[in-house]
């Protein structure tokens, strides 16, 4: 009997797909390729150890748990040719998903595929769902309406995904800057997502990434509830596809630094992996510090003041000087 494997991002949609009645096994891909050290082969032992340490420090994920999950997923990819007749990838338009999609296509492109069909369903809207953020919004019945709507992956898409992952894994941003100028239409949501990726680098003007800049602009002179801020950032910057753990990590970076840019009122730490939210978490509030106001208006520089120790793809940004920065106008890069 023909076997089908569906790879999806997120347990929420995985549950919907299961309930929809669409035939096939479901594999939820649980590797956040948006953050941490990145390389061409994510199961590489040195890289995996670096990522496990990063994820433990950033989100509190036990290193052994992270390593085991990654290795199990990678092993499943390696065995596809012997186990399935069709592989269907379900992904969305945002950066988080597009990076995952490119990695999977790059990896699958290296496998002997003559024995299984490779298909893709990738959408940025669904009738009656406004605004559309992702597949997890759909009901089981709506998910079932997507049955058979996936289309075969082309050789052009496989080549493009490999080129994207090569540029994303590079140790400097120039290959990605060059790639964005090429024709990326084989994967129609890719260009916008990669432009958002380049905006993750600190700016030449004040050392803030585009999403950090947005967070401060949304705060202005007010105290804003932490959940309200998360919602507003998610709405204004839906192209990133941020989850709550990624957002808490962004807040921590602006809060627990040498010259704090924000303050969080109501508690001394934010939730980590598998932790329940603290009591009264919905009452936590965020406000900008006086230093944050100076940085927001380009009278101070976040990197010069606080330094950085962060990975953006294969690039390790570290220190207070000689750090890759972006020019928001030209999408160019320079070390400052």
Helix (H) or strand (E) holding 47: helix 45-59
Quote the pLDDT of residue 115.
78
Please provide the CATH number assigned to the domain covering 4-169: 3.40.1360.10
For residues 39 and 251, give the distance between their C-alpha atoms in angstroms, rounded to a whole number.
26
* 3-class secondary structure, 73: helix
For residues 107 and 111, give the distance between their C-alpha atoms in angstroms, rounded to a whole number.
7
Quote the pLDDT of residue 197.
97
pLDDT truncated to tens, each residue of the chain (336 aa)?
Answer: 569 999 999 889 999 999 999 999 999 998 899 999 999 999 999 999 999 999 999 999 999 999 999 999 999 999 888 889 999 999 999 999 999 999 999 999 988 766 789 999 999 999 999 999 999 999 999 999 999 999 999 999 999 999 999 999 999 999 999 999 999 999 999 999 999 999 999 999 999 999 999 999 999 888 999 999 999 999 999 999 999 999 999 999 999 999 999 999 999 899 999 999 999 999 999 999 999 999 999 999 999 999 999 999 999 999 999 999 998 776 689 999
- Residue 204: phi and psi, rounded to 5, are -75, -20
- Range list for CATH 3.40.1360.10 in the chain: 4-169
Is the CB of residue 334 less than 8 Å from the CB of residue 325?
yes
For residues 310 and 318, give the distance between their C-alpha atoms in angstroms, rounded to a whole number.
7
Average pLDDT of the chain is 95
Question: Tokens 């990838």 map to which residue?
Answer: 89
């Amino acid at each position: 009997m023909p076997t089908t494997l569906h790879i999806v991002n997120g347990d929420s949609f995985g549950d919907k797909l299961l309930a929809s009645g669409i035939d096939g096994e479901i594999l939820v891909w649980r590797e956040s390729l948006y953050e941490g050290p990145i390389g061409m082969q994510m199961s590489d032992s040195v890289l995996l150890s670096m990522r496990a340490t990063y994820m433990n420090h950033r989100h509190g994920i036990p290193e052994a748990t992270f390593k085991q999950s990654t290795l199990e997923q990678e092993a499943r990819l390696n065995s596809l040719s012997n186990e399935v007749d069709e592989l269907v990838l379900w992904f969305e338009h945002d950066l988080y998903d597009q990076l995952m999609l490119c990695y999977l296509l790059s990896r699958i492109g290296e496998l002997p595929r003559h024995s299984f069909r490779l298909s893709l369903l990738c959408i940025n809207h669904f009738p009656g769902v406004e605004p559309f953020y992702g597949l997890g919004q759909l009901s089981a019945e709506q998910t079932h309406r997507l049955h058979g709507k996936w289309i075969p992956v082309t050789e052009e898409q496989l080549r493009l995904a490999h080129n994207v992952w090569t540029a994303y894994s590079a140790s400097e941003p120039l290959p990605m800057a060059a790639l964005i100028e090429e024709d990326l239409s084989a994967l129609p949501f890719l260009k916008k997502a990669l432009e958002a990726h380049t905006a993750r680098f600190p700016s030449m003007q004040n050392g803030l990434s585009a999403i950090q800049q947005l967070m401060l602009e949304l705060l202005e002179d007010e105290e804003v509830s932490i959940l309200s801020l998360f919602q507003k950032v998610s709405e204004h910057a839906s192209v990133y596809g941020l989850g709550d753990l990624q957002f808490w990590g962004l807040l921590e970076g602006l809060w627990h630094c040498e010259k704090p840019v924000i303050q969080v009122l109501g508690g001394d730490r934010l939730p980590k992996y598998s932790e329940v939210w603290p009591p009264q978490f919905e009452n936590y509030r965020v406000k900008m510090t006086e230093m944050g106001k100076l940085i927001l208006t380009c009278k101070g520089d976040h990197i010069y003041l606080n330094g950085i120790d962060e990975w953006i793809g294969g690039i390790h940004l570290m220190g207070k000087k000689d750090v890759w920065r972006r020019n928001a106008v030209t999408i160019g890069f320079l070390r400052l």
